[in-house]
Structure 1
């Protein structure tokens, strides 16, 4: 049978966030093992008792067969039955304890995994998320976590149980009848060859299958997010074709992994049949020659038959772990994103923001900014102006620590922003634009995101600072009012005021403004600008001025053209120079 045809390169192209290397995955698994070593040791101990109890029955039965073969008249059946019942009760009790301990261990590890992934995802540099898009991250949060749920809850505990069980059975077989242990291993080469064939292909196949699904999710999310653009440019047919192609690639990998399993399972069944047949044939000849007793053969054959269950469990759950390993690699891959977790978190010594010979581009070897230098002194208001596409917003995001420069350096108080954790950067510098989000929950919960320790008085003070208290006080439940999807819907202006109130609570000393009111109607925009004025008082402000009236009152205006600062000065000075800014100003006012 040949594997189905597919394009093996296509799914990998969908990867936008890194997949964790084998070293990263092993390091994380060791970390999880260290955290849960005590519950794991208890699980192994309880499972060992259950496994040993399960071996009493075959041993008692083998002893009876041996006595009967020798013509014994005193079988002491009551003792045999008593030993069997006691062993059965012990096995039942400790098997239940094993399953309970295994389930608890799995849930604890899964909870740790989810929390670790959430913490790492939140710490990702915003620029990384902007470039990666939402599809790949969402597929990791949903599909990969779902796949790992089964592995963490069952595969890891069950595989541990199966390994202990199989090891004890082999040990008991070796002690009871050493020749039969060798006979049982006759089937081992078949299992090793088949397993090696399968497991050499499975990891890459499952990885590509997961990447293929991520490609489907990414294409769907991007199409939905840009639905209006797709309609406006009549790109519907092209997006549908892209979705069909991604689905076809994903289905091809699904078929391939199914084909791999169709080869593995018959090999496993053949292994069991060969092992049992070898024990019976070799053991039978040894009994005939007097090298082995009938009781030892009976016990040994039963132990070999019992090996079927743990071996099946090992292969089944190891196969499950192949899928889980891919999902785990995708989840821990966020650890390998540059800047996702800084070992050396520099602390700024001052509030001066400095860009020194900065170069940056969204594509390799294509710079948007070319050797830009700019100093923003504490408490000053700097406006970035220039034609559309000049690089104003890009420079603003560099100054806000969203992006890291390709060359050059952006520092805050002498410390490189790229050398700070995202949490530290956000405590000093914040980007404010027209994008805002209201989370599902209470108004209080939405505000506490900025400062979890704030009391109600501080929350109301933040709302009053942005002139949001009139509508907030009108809510019957006040701060406990449920807002967001499915609850009280806030208007765009109200949602922006909530975002500004969070800003007041976070209290960063430097703000980068990218036309936070440009998407609102004029009346709402003027109202929010008045609210914003109170927030800006006493802070350092870098305003990206798409409307020149924003730049008029700035202390310093930087004119950006073609990724370079071509003019720098106050409004009156630049107008008097009759340069690029003066041309923009006169054009804005219709003087020329």
Structure 2
């Protein structure tokens, strides 16, 4: 039974906040420099409106042209200083964003590589791919542009608000009261944005997974006439993605107009309030002009914040998905103990996928060193699951699977690879040279070792390539199913494990190549322990012993002839496979 597929977890708001603070601390010098330049630029930006107010008051008093010209020069200098410092802050922020985006990507890659194999195999491929591509790109874009610009705009907004309140508290309060609409619009948006953007990202990953799985299974879809069903599945995924995108679009259509209108109201409020108090001599006309200009300048930072808040929210949701890998439990500590022998003992094993119904129930089995054991049973009996446990890919929910007295899953990766290897029909060939694809299994192997391993699995086609072992998969040669499987089997030869768990290891080879490979593997398998998950009972006939699984339980164990004489479950399976026998 194959493991059910699911999605990786999503980090909580607290986890994202903690990760973001860690990224800020990691480059605190750049953050401090950016904040310093921003504060100085914001301070310089306050000078112009204040001097303009002084010009209005000076003109009202009949001051000379020289005084006014001097104030104008001050405005020009302040504007130049603000522009230079503001651009310097943005430049520092962009460099900070690039470095931080690189750290986020490296952190994600490291965590993805450390994910337990059992977790990766049960996760929808589209989910992990989307997190490493779309989500990581969204986070990088936000760090590169949105975060610096929003931070600069936020500091400018704070300075302007403080300045207008200091200039005249009454006029400042009047303007800020008119600005309340923007706050309400942002609050309304932010309360709904996280869930909406997480849903958009999840449906996008689901769409990618449906399309990928349909493309990979195109031959099966065509052979079984499943075109309509797969088309409906794709259309359903598209519709769910579209609905999620429309939800976030609706949020933006409410936020942007509300913020646009609200950001213009403070200037109107100050001018109306100022018209009432200027005549009474409470404040001067210059103060009203300065306050109005401060609030007019506030429109720019608010527009920047509003413009970027949508992308920031999308990036925060993507950040939560990228950081979600931290929620996945790390693999348990490995054992330093060395197995005393090569005997594998399974005691009272129970196993279930994701707290579901037990796939294996109370299995007891001893795999003797050097024997060839076949695992047989109907589809869903638990054969592949038991094979994964024997190879240390999964851990039992209850009971134990030990080799030489040490839990198989506790062995360090290098030691485990030398002890037992699981070979299935699913293999990955990296876009690299044939040599490097093989050296994964044994980095110290020589070219002669590689050629012998290839010859052992019948991969004669490598020698016929123009560049031989230097040929690049995907460029010089197409790594189709048969060739990918031969490369994987050659890796097994190089790894030289004591025990092999074969789960349809030659299923993707054409009949002629499969027969040649199986004959070549005969010499390779000699003297090793081999556990063959037999989906075809011809494999079981040649085994030393046959273990029969039914509904997750081991119901029969013995040689082929013994089980036929028993006339039990295995005998029934054999007759169904060979009706004339």
TM-score (ref. length: structure 1):
0.84
Counterpart Cα distance in 2 of 1:425 and 1:296: 78
- Consecutive unaligned residues of structure 1, counting only runs of 5 or more, are 1-13
Distance 2:299 2:350 in 1: 63
Report what 1:270 is aligned to.
Answer: 261
Residue 526 in 1 paired to residue 526 in 2?
Answer: no
Please give the residue correspondences for 1:110-149 in structure 2 after superposition, counting only pairs within 5 Å.
110-149=101-140
Tell me if the contact between 2:453 and 2:494 (Cα under 8 Å) persists in the aligned partners. Answer: no
Note if 1:567 corresponds to 2:556: yes
Are the aligned partners of 2:175 and 2:270 in contact in 1 as well (CA < 8 Å)?
A: yes
Partner of 2:151: 160
Residues in 2 aligned to 1:41 and 1:538: alpha-carbon distance in whole angstroms: 65
Inter-partner Cα distance in structure 2 for 1:364 and 1:206: 29
**67 and 375 in structure 1: CA distance in 2 versus 1, 3 angstrom threshold:** farther
**3-state secondary structure, aligned to 1:55:** helix
Match of 2:187 in 1: 196
Residue 240 (structure 1) aligns with: 231
Residue pair 2:256, 2:306 contacting (<8 A) in 1 also: no
Equivalence for 2:240: 249
Deviation at 1:280, TM superposition (A): 2.2
How many Å apart are 1:268 and its aligned residue?
1.0
CA-to-aligned-CA distance 1:463-486 (integer Å, 9 cap, x gap): 3233168543443333332222x5
Which residue is 2:83 aligned to?
92
Cα 1:534/1:108, change in 2 over 3 Å:
farther
C-alpha contact 2:420 2:499 (8 A) present in aligned 1: yes
Counterpart among 460, 476, 485 of residue 466 in structure 2: 476
* Alignment correspondent of 2:400: 409
1:426 to 1:111, Cα distance in 2 relative to 1, 3 A:
farther
After the TM superposition, which of the residue ranges 344-353 and 314-323 deviates more from structure 2? 344-353
> What CA deviation, in whole Å up to 9, does each residue of 1:341-383 have, x standing for no partner?
2364444542654432222345865333221122345665433
Work out which of the residue numbers 528, 534, 538 in structure 2 matches 1:545: 534
The 1:121–1:177 alpha-carbon spacing in structure 2 relative to 1, beyond 3 Å, is same
Measured in 1, the distance between the counterparts of 2:147 and 2:418 equals 40
SS in 2 for 1:483: coil
2:58, 2:416 → 1: CA distance? 80
Q: How does 1:274-289 map to 2 (within 5 A)?
A: 274-289=265-280
CA distance in 2, matches of 1:80, 1:427: 81
Question: How is 1:459-470 mapped onto 2 (pairs within 5 angstroms)?
Answer: 459-467=447-455
Of 193, 196, 203, the residue aligned with 1:205 is 196
Distance 2:430 2:523 in 1: 25
Corresponding position: 1:458 with 2:449:
no
The alpha-carbon deviation at position 531 of structure 1 amounts to: 4.3
Note the C-alpha offset of 1:396: 0.5
Give the counterpart of 1:384 among 363, 375, 380: 375
Contact 1:357 1:373 in 2 (8 A): yes
RMSD: 3.5
Q: Relative to 1, partners in 2 of residues 1:249 and 1:495: Cα closer, same or farther, differing over 3 Å?
A: closer
Q: Deviations over 1:155-189 (max 9, x none)?
A: 22222222222122223334443443323321243
* Helix, strand or coil at the partner of 2:281: coil
Which string of whole-angstrom CA distances, capped at 9 and with x for unpartnered residues, describes residues 473-519 of structure 1? 443333332222x5422465443332233334555554321131233
Match 1:322 to one of 313, 317, 335:
313
Q: Matched residues in 1 for 2:496 and 2:572: separation? A: 37
2:506 paired residue among 501, 517, 522: 517
Q: Which whole-Å deviations, capped at 9, do the CAs of 1:290-322 have from their partners, x for residues lacking one?
A: 333333333222221111111222222222222
Number of residue pairs the alignment of both structures matches: 573
TM-score, normalization by structure 2: 0.86
Moved more, 296-305 or 223-232: 223-232
Distance 1:49 1:415, change over 3 A: farther
Report which stretch shifted further, 371-380 or 48-57. Answer: 371-380
- Going from structure 1 to structure 2, the CA distance change for 1:569 and 1:473 (only over 3 Å counts) comes to same
Task: Return the alpha-carbon distance in structure 2 between the equivalents of residues 425 and 275 of structure 1.
Answer: 69
Q: Identify which range, 548-557 or 580-589, moves more after superposition.
A: 580-589
Aligned equivalent of 2:94? 103
